[in-house]
Amino acid sequence: MTTTEPILQLDHLVKQFPIKAGVLRRTVGQVHAVSDVSLDLFGEETLGVVGESGCGKTTLGRTLLRLIEPTSGTITFQGRDITHIGKAEMRAVRRDLQIVFQDPYASLNPRMSVREIVGEPLRIQGVDKGETRERVAEMLQAVGLLPEHGNRYPHEFSGGQRQRIGIARAITVHPKVLILDEPVSALDVSIQAQVLNLLEDLQERFELSMIFIAHDLSVVRHISDRVAVMYLGRVVELASRDTLYDAPAHPYTHSLLSAVPVPDPRAERTRQRIVLQGDVPSPASPPPGCHFHTRCPLATERCRTEVPLLVPIDGDTLHQVACHYPLQAGETLLERVSQVAVTR
């Protein structure tokens, strides 16, 4: 299973997008998409990254492949700093770092046959034609398609099959790390399970390390070994899957989990749901201090001024939280809220 050496390390990664305005297109502000994110991906593990829209999870995925250049921070792949290496070198590194995109309709070139699509990464890597043909057939089979599907074009396939093509394209160069950006959210419910199972099979067969980016907490729980929760560009909690879902420490994680509807009427009837007030603030002007303080029922003056760091809880280095007042194991946010109300 997972190794103890990180295969990919992000150290204080920052990505800001300039906001330009006026005739001269002067920079008038910054969108803080990713703010100071440090994460390790271990060999053959699946790291889930969850968060709501605008939390920076997609930018994070693209930045660590350098499809978007980071503003600052470092990306280390297998012990080597790849943050500033040149284009040709980066191309060689991408053989080991591949990505599957969210929209299977937009991410496949409609004018290319499936064989050309799946074989393109091999062509870029300079693999000869005969081997490419063989490898493409093998990959199509690995993702549950038939070799003869190679002659067809994307429009002839359903959403689920297109996502299989996207996955085949990503693994055809035998990468070590696969970034999956919302790989099942565009698919029908009955098709999602097929693709999730496929990803699990491929991970085992090709010894892949995966970063699984999604907004669906149920899907992330299913597939991940560890999970990072992002809010407005920062990682607010990082823990092993079961710890995160059974004993979340950050008030945001807690309320996010309580907001997810579960397909079980009895559970829904007895559930205590915490409905967060307000919207996610704009990443162009994130609030000072803890980014979550504007919606947090526990926020104090300290939260409004002092940025909480992502630190281990009770010496458990596997469980890290960025909160001044983390919840204890087994404590619910509602209990804490009522406690706070009494003492105030």
Partner 1 sequence: MSEPDAPLLEVSNLSVTFRTDAGPVRAVTELSMVVHAGETLAIVGESGSGKSVTALAIMRLHPKSATITGSITFEGGELLTLSDREMRHVRGNGIAMIFQDPMTALNPVFTIGDQIVEMIRAHRQTPKAMAWKQAAELLELVGVPEPARRAKQYPHEFSGGMRQRAMIAMAIANSPRVIIADEPTTALDVTIQAQVMEVIAAAQRETGAAVILITHDLGLVAGAGDRVQVMYGSRLFETGGLDDVFYRSANPYTKALLSSIPTLGSRAADRLTPIPGNPPSLLRPLPGCPFEPRCSWAIDICGEAMPDLRVVADGHSSRCHRADEVSVSGVDPHSATTASVPIAAGMPAHVAMPVSPVPEVLG
Give the footprint of partner 1 on this chain (CB under 8 A): 52-53, 144-146, 149, 152, 155-161, 188-194, 196-198, 200, 215, 217-219, 221-224, 241-242, 245, 255-257, 259-268, 271, 273, 275-277, 279-280
Structure letter (DSSP) for residue 152? S
β-pairing verdict for 177-181 and 209-214 = parallel
Q: Which is nearer to partner 1, 111 or 155 (CB)?
A: 155
Question: Residue 49 Cβ, how far from partner 1 at the closest point, in Å?
Answer: 15
Smaller CB separation from partner 1, 25 or 155: 155
Q: How far is the CB of 295 from partner 1 (least distance, A)?
A: 8
- Residues in a beta bridge with 209: 177
Q: Which is nearer to partner 1, 272 or 343 (CB)?
A: 272
In whole angstroms, the minimum distance from the beta carbon of 129 to partner 1 comes to: 25
Q: How far is the CB of 104 from partner 1 (least distance, A)?
A: 11
Q: Left (φ > 0), alpha (ψ -120 to 50) or beta: where does 255 sit? A: alpha
- Whichever of 7 and 55 has its CB closer to partner 1, that residue is 55
Please say which residue, 13 or 184, places its beta carbon nearer to partner 1: 184
CA distance 286 to 297: 18
In what helix (H) or strand (E) does residue 213 lie, and over which residues does it extend? strand 209-214
Min dist CB 182 to partner 1, Å, is 13
Residue among 5 and 242 whose Cβ is closer to partner 1: 242
Structure tokens at 17: 């997008």
Q: Which is nearer to partner 1, 42 or 77 (CB)?
A: 42
Cα atoms found within 13 Å of the Cα of residue 285, Cβ hemisphere only: 2
Q: What letter represents residue 171's amino acid?
A: I
- H-helix or E-strand spanning residue 117: helix 114-124
**Cα radius of gyration (the chain):** 21
Determine which helix (DSSP H) or strand (DSSP E) holds 246, and give its type and residue range.
Answer: helix 241-246
Q: Say which residues have a Cβ less than 8 Å from residue 52's Cβ, sequence separation at least 6.
A: 215, 231, 256, 280
- 341 within 8 A of 333, measured Cβ to Cβ: no
Give, rounded to a whole angstrom, the gap between the first and last alpha carbons of the chain: 48
Task: Give least dist CB 264 to partner 1, A.
Answer: 6
* Min dist. Cβ of residue 316 to partner 1 (A): 20
